[in-house]
Amino acid sequence: MIDIHSHILPGVDDGAQTLTEALDMLKMAIDQGVTTQVLTPHIHFGRYNNNKQQLLNTFNKFKEAVDKKDLQINLLLAAECRIGPELMQLVAQQAIPWLGEYQQKRTFLLEFPRTDVPYGSDNLVRWLISKNCLPVIVHPERNNTFLTQRHKLQTFIDLGCPLQITASSITGKFGAEAQKLAEDLLVNNQVSAIASDCHNLKGRKPDLLSGFNKAAEVLGQTQSETITQLNPAKLIA
């Protein structure tokens, strides 16, 4: 499987805090069948002021530690970017760690606040797409506005944004409402990828396998493989 969203890179955000914790999380992912792990630290102005070069330096050091432990997994660096006008500056400066390229557009993970969808978000996404940047909307099932006003999520789907849901949402860890929306999106074939969005070894540990298994119950084995293997491979190509 390919996990396109994780907070395993140590010491850069609210994810793994130590190298030991990060390595243990990576081992857990490997044991579950993850063959490519994308490390996606937060870029959130005013809270996690990470920049591309700093993250790349930390990533290279972490990769050396992984190689020393002989952990057999493909590591990639991207980022989870919080929506806001600052994204325009990042795009202009080529300062976003891209996920990959899909449909001739550069892909990246785009996060909304948990409680709302900021005014003008649709216009910002339109601008990004006009610049050949394709946002992958992460965990929409955990956003209060999308939960209560589905048409607002449909706006971004209609714009062509892929959706990534969280494995823990499908299994019910984020509550019944998030689980229901996640399952509805799965059934309606509106999910491009499932990811772990893992943060630690306790409440937010790597759990992509459980998400895969639950999705297989809802959609069947083949479609579950599509959203944990084939589609993620296209997004990171």
Q: Which residues of the chain have pLDDT under 70?
A: none
Task: Tell me the domain boundaries of the chain.
Answer: 2-235
β-strands 193-195, 163-166: how paired? parallel
DSSP state letter for 7? -
**Contact predicate 80/109, CB 8 Å:** yes
pLDDT of 33: 98
Q: How many helices (H) and strands (E) does the chain have?
A: 11, 10
pLDDT of 46: 84
Classify domain 2-235 at the CATH superfamily level.
Metal-dependent hydrolases (3.20.20.140)
The C-alpha atoms of residue 230 and residue 224 are separated, in whole angstroms, by 10
pLDDT of 45: 87
pLDDT of 38: 99
The pTM for the full model equals 0.97
Render pLDDT for 179-197 as a digit per residue (tens, 0 to 9). 999 999 999 999 999 999 9
| Residues in CB range of 128: below 8 A, 6 or more apart | 87, 91, 134, 135
pLDDT of 115: 94
**Contact predicate 15/200, CB 8 Å:** yes
